[in-house]
Amino acid sequence: KDLAYAAMGYCIVIPTEPRELADEGINLSHCVGDYIGRVASGECHILFLRRRSTPEQSLVTLQLSGKRICQAQGVNRRNITQQERRFLTHWGKEKDIEIAV
């Protein structure tokens, strides 16, 4: 929960149930649902980047490995926008996380 953050019209949401990962994969048409086992084993963490105004709507899925965001994908595996990158960079500085996407 210490990774949760909100600024610049965006927020980081921490999923708490495996079903949330499966739903995220369905909503964004990518394979994050396949990461449930990796998350359960502690190999990585999955976080959601959402608009502050609609935190319940899928926008971008983030894979956190250690202190590094190594994947960030929107619908149909789209890359993050410049505005999303600015937010993630700001969040990363606040939380000491490298944004490597």
| Residues 97 and 89 sit within 8 Å (Cβ to Cβ) | no
Q: Which residues of 14-42 are buried (b: 16+ CB within 10 A; e: fewer)?
A: ebeeeebbeebbeebebebbebbeebeee
The reported pLDDT for the residue numbered 39 is 87
Percent of the chain with pLDDT over 90: 79
If we measure between CA atoms, which residue out of 81, 75, 85, 71 comes closest to residue 39?
71
Is the pLDDT confidence value at 90 over 70? yes
The reported pLDDT for the residue numbered 1 is 60
The reported pLDDT for the residue numbered 45 is 93
The reported pLDDT for the residue numbered 3 is 94
Is the pLDDT confidence value at 98 over 90? yes
How large is the average pLDDT for residues 16-30?
91
pLDDT per residue as tens digits for the range 36-83: 888 889 999 999 999 999 999 999 999 999 999 999 999 999 999 999
